[in-house]
Amino acid sequence: MYSLDKARRICKNKEYRLVYKHGSYVVGRMVVVYHMPVAKQPHRIGFVTGKKVGGAVVRNRARRLMKEVYRLHQHEIREGHHIVIVGRAKLSGATYKEAEKEILYVLKRSKLLK
């Protein structure tokens, strides 16, 4: 159905740092969304969880939650942005519905949804 193509991902550390440095951000309870406008390019996205979220298993679950929310709602995101979603500690204990509601709310506040 929907997939996360390699062309749609931010992979290199240099690209993450560029979004952090030159982009703006919106803070939510469970996630922080950094975004940087990029002219005439499709949107690209990266997912990050720090060690404060928990151990490796917990961090991977948090990233899987973020990726699943993105996968199902990627057609609603405006083109021309590089986006980094950073998971916070509360995301590790959230259900899918809670994570979906929070991520879509933060994306809407950052004016990234169509």
Instruction: Please tell me what DSSP assigns to residue 78.
Output: P
CATH code for the part of the protein at 6-109 = 3.30.230.10
Q: How confident is the model at residue 46 (pLDDT cuts 50, 70, 90)?
A: very high
Report pLDDT for 1: 56
pTM for this entry: 0.93
- pLDDT, averaged across the chain: 93
Measuring CA to CA, how many Å separate 9 from each of 49, 68, 75, 90, 98?
A: 16, 14, 15, 24, 24
What mean pLDDT do residues 6-20 have?
93
**Rounded CA gap, 85 and 32, in Å?**
6
Please report, for the chain, the start and end positions of each structural domain, with discontinuous segments joined by +: 6-109
What mean pLDDT do residues 47-60 have?
94
Report pLDDT for 95: 95
What mean pLDDT do residues 20-38 have?
96
**Contact between 112 and 74 (Cβ < 8 Å):** no
Q: For 100, phi and psi rounded to 5 degrees? A: -60, -45
